[in-house]
Amino acid sequence: MFSTVKKIHFVGIGGIGMSGIAEILIDQGFKVTGSDKQLSEITQRLENLGAKIYQGHAPEHVEDDVDVVVYSSAVKMDNPEIQEAMRRKIPVIRRAEMLAELMRLKYGIGIAGTHGKTTTTSMVGLVLIEGGFDPTVIVGGVLRDLGGTNARLGHGNFIVVEADEFDRSFLQLTPTIAVITTLEAEHLDSYGNIEELKSAFVDFANKVPFYGFVVLCLDEPMIQDIMPLIKKRVITYGLNAQADIQAVEPEFKERSSSYNLIYKGKNYGRINLQVPGLHNVKNSLAAIAVGMELGIEFEIVKSAVEKFKGVYRRFEIRAEVNNVMVVDDYAHHPTEIKAVLQAAKDGWKRRVIAVFQPHLYSRTRDFYQEFGRSFFNADVCVITDIYTAREEPIEGVTGELIANSARNFGHKEVH
């Protein structure tokens, strides 16, 4: 950015995506202010780093010397701080535009997909750190391996970012390496239909320059659909026998998972992860593919993924008392719920009680039938009211839609 930009104000700074960008900018020497409805550990961390944080939204929070205002997807344009910035003709940009600016002068690795973005971004970042690339990393979750933060300012030539497909934000990014972990119907309120969603992922992949490459999960039917339309070099991964990098003979035990790694026909032996579930096996394959293609020695790549400790709110074990274990997970899509419950069943062989808070009215309306099919690996499921996030209520859409769907599909204990 030009030296004329010295002070940046974030509206919705407590969001996990916004806070990571804010932290990188603070580390780069910019003055940062921000506001959010509620203060949190995240806003406290930013304040400790030097940001000025306001609780609530008001025009006076946009200070006189602010040069640009950044807002998140959760913030509406009638927000008083957005309105004040526009009145004063201060540039107002979306989070994705600022992220694109941070990527512009580095080799960007963008991790996209319906599921697995945060964990895969974290794993790729750790592989590059261990490989000596000293990358900048911006993750949509709090990463234990980064010391309990979601951002790391590196001085190398690479930046690793989570590329969010919501409202087509990821199309503002210019990755040198694009990773697509999964592709399913999601955010149809932004895209209208599944074909438009597929088209956006094709556009994202084809942004890669001629010297870059695209990493795709070959296990995913919709990714298979878009592969013929991707014109850049492709590396595939998965359990699929045709993938360039494969996991063979996966095994699961409590907090861990393991598999034999086959890379371009060669057996590299056993990989032992500290995170559970088949979904994490696949996430690690994507990270290994990126590391190996960048020329990092296999033993370094292996060590990096094996020491990965996970992301907060991704199968996070919060407590264990009297043989009762409490796990917190951000899963908010039917496929993610299935993966989490499968990991619990595979690893522990215990009775599973799932308590689920639906996220977004539109997602509940569009997928309540699929949600109903997601809980068969739970002995008991409890469905709460909907978390509204950025949406207004939709008449007739409640958590009871999902509960009734689960009952209709044969689940015997739903509350």
Q: What is the pLDDT of residues 169-199, one digit of tens each?
A: 889 899 999 999 999 877 666 777 889 999 9
First to last CA, the chain: 53
Helices (H), 160-220: 188-191, 194-205
Q: Are strands 107-112 and 177-180 parallel, antiparallel or unpaired?
A: parallel
Q: Which residue in 177, 24, 204 sits closest to 114, CA to CA?
A: 204
User: Is 162 a residue of the active site?
Assistant: yes
Cβ atoms within 10 Å of 158's Cβ, excluding its own: 23
Count CA within 13 A, CB hemisphere, residue 176: 15
Q: Is residue 67 within 8 Å of 27, Cβ to Cβ?
A: no
In this structure, the answer to whether residues 37 and 121 fall within a common structural domain is no
Kindly state whether residue 202 falls inside one of the protein's structural domains.
yes
Last residue of a domain, one of 273, 307, 341: 307
The range of the structural domain enclosing residue 268 comes to 106-307
Of 162, 184, 186, 336, which residue is the catalytic one?
162
- Structurally, the chain folds into a number of domains equal to 3
Q: Is residue 205 within 8 Å of 230, Cβ to Cβ?
A: yes
In this structure, the answer to whether residues 264 and 144 fall within a common structural domain is yes
In this structure, the answer to whether residues 120 and 170 fall within a common structural domain is yes
Of 118, 119, 181, 335, which residue is the catalytic one?
118
Here the CATH number for the domain that contains residue 15 is: 3.40.50.720
Last residue of a domain, one of 307, 339, 371: 307
Please give the Cα distance from 177 to 204 (Å, whole number). Answer: 10
Helices and strands: H and E segment counts in the chain = 13, 19
* E strand segments, 254-379: 256-263, 266-273, 316-321, 324-328, 353-356
- Take residue 306 and report the two structure tokens written for it: 């094996």
Kindly state whether residue 1 falls inside one of the protein's structural domains.
no
What is the distance of C-alpha 206 from the center of its chain? 21
Q: Which residue in 90, 132, 58, 86 sits closest to 301, CA to CA?
A: 132
In this structure, the answer to whether residues 341 and 401 fall within a common structural domain is yes
In this structure, the answer to whether residues 52 and 118 fall within a common structural domain is no
In this structure, the answer to whether residues 216 and 164 fall within a common structural domain is yes
User: Is 117 a residue of the active site?
Assistant: yes
Q: Which residue in 279, 243, 284 sits closest to 120, CA to CA?
A: 284
- Take residue 34 and report the two structure tokens written for it: 């921000």
Task: Tell me the angle at which helices 16-27 and 41-49 cross, rounded to the nearest 10 degrees.
Answer: 10
**pLDDT tens digit at each of 415 positions of the chain:** 557 789 999 999 988 889 999 999 999 999 999 999 888 888 999 999 999 999 999 999 999 999 999 998 878 899 999 999 999 999 999 999 999 999 988 999 999 998 888 899 999 999 999 999 999 999 877 766 666 678 889 999 999 999 888 778 889 899 999 999 999 877 666 777 889 999 999 999 999 999 999 999 999 999 999 999 999 999 999 999 999 999 999 998 878 899 999 999 999 999 999 988 888 999 999 999 999 999 999 999 999 999 998 776 777 878 888 888 888 888 878 888 888 888 788 877 788 889 999 888 888 888 888 888 889 889 998 999 888 776 788 888 888 889 989 998 888 888 8
Kindly state whether residue 150 falls inside one of the protein's structural domains.
yes
Virtual CA dihedral for 106, 112, 118, 120, nearest 10 degrees?
-80
Of 31, 117, 198, 282, which residue is the catalytic one?
117
Q: Are strands 136-143 and 68-71 parallel, antiparallel or unpaired?
A: unpaired
In this structure, the answer to whether residues 370 and 227 fall within a common structural domain is no
Please give the Cα distance from 81 to 53 (Å, whole number). Answer: 13
Q: Which residue in 275, 221, 277 sits closest to 250, CA to CA?
A: 277
pTM (2 d.p.): 0.83
Here the CATH number for the domain that contains residue 189 is: 3.40.1190.10
Here the CATH number for the domain that contains residue 387 is: 3.90.190.20
Instruction: Tell me the backbone φ, ψ of residue 225, rounded to 5 degrees.
Output: -60, -40
Amino acid identity, residue 305?
V
The residues that bridge with 238 in the sheet, in sequence order, are 246
Q: What is the DSSP secondary structure assignment for residue 359, as one 8-state letter?
A: B
